[in-house]
């Protein structure tokens, strides 16, 4: 179903479009519970001489609880085909209240022991390397703070090494 490739082989992927326009799912598991949430903020590139992904999760999200406990997460990219499910189910509902994957008709699979989705066209298996909380006092552009954080619910930032990349065969 999935074929492993090197992350550097993703030359045709437009990261700006994939992250900001098509969105992706951050998927984590801890204590036998798995969940995913839609993300539209993130980065792919090279950091600390490693293929890296940076993702952001607000503390009130159920996925935050799991991501905090998990050593590894997956980032699942789908393209435009599943945008409705990513927006209306994974982006708006909480895993505390039900099984979002089942509601969306998605099927979990495991790649290197990390939960991902069979429906994804690309899966990045990532290991957390660094975490921090966005801080109000660090904003140089106060308009960004006011526009993106009116409730002061700042994201946790996860810098992850992309251990493996898988594409749908």
Residue 10 pLDDT class (50, 70, 90 cuts): confident
Q: Write down the pLDDT at residue 81.
A: 87
Q: Which residue has the tokens 């036998």?
A: 32
Q: Are 89 and 78 in contact (CB under 8 A)?
A: no
Whether the model pTM is above 0.75: yes
pLDDT, tens digit, 9 for 90 and up, residues 59-118: 999 999 999 999 999 999 998 889 999 999 999 999 999 999 999 999 999 999 999 999
Q: Are 160 and 127 in contact (CB under 8 A)?
A: yes
pLDDT, tens digit, 9 for 90 and up, residues 147-169: 999 999 999 999 999 999 999 99
Domains in the chain with CATH codes: 2-168 (2.30.110.10)
Q: Write down the pLDDT at residue 157.
A: 98
Q: Write down the pLDDT at residue 130.
A: 98
- Rounded mean pLDDT, 118-142: 98
Percent of the chain with pLDDT over 70: 100
Residue whose C-alpha is closest to residue 163's, from 139, 117, 129, 121: 129
**The two three-digit tokens of residue 37, written as one number:** 């949430």
- Rounded mean pLDDT, 112-126: 97
Residue 126 per-residue DSSP state: E
Q: Write down the pLDDT at residue 11.
A: 77
Work out the burial of residue 41: count CB atoms within 10 Å of its CB; fewer than 13 is exposed, 13-18 middle, 19 or more buried.
Answer: middle
**Number of residues that make up the chain:** 169
**Which of the residue ranges 2-16, 122-136, 155-169 would you say has the lowest mean pLDDT?**
2-16
Mean model confidence pLDDT for the chain: 96
């Amino acid at each position: 179903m999935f074929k492993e490739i090197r992350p550097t082989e993703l030359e045709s992927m437009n990261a700006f479009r994939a992250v900001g326009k098509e969105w992706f799912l951050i998927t984590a598991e801890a204590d036998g519970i798995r969940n995913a949430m839609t993300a539209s903020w993130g980065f792919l590139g090279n950091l600390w001489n490693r293929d890296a992904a940076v993702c952001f999760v607000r503390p009130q999200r159920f996925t935050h609880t799991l991501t905090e406990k998990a050593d590894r997460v997956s980032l699942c990219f789908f393209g435009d085909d599943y945008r409705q499910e990513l927006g209306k189910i994974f982006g708006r509902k909480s895993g505390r209240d039900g099984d979002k994957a089942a509601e969306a008709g998605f099927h979990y699979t495991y790649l290197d022991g990390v939960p991902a989705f069979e429906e994804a066209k690309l899966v990045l298996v990532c290991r957390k390397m660094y975490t921090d909380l966005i801080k109000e006092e660090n904003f140089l552009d106060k308009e960004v703070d006011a526009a993106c954080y009116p409730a002061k619910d700042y994201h946790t930032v996860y810098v992850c090494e992309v251990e493996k990349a898988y594409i749908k065969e």
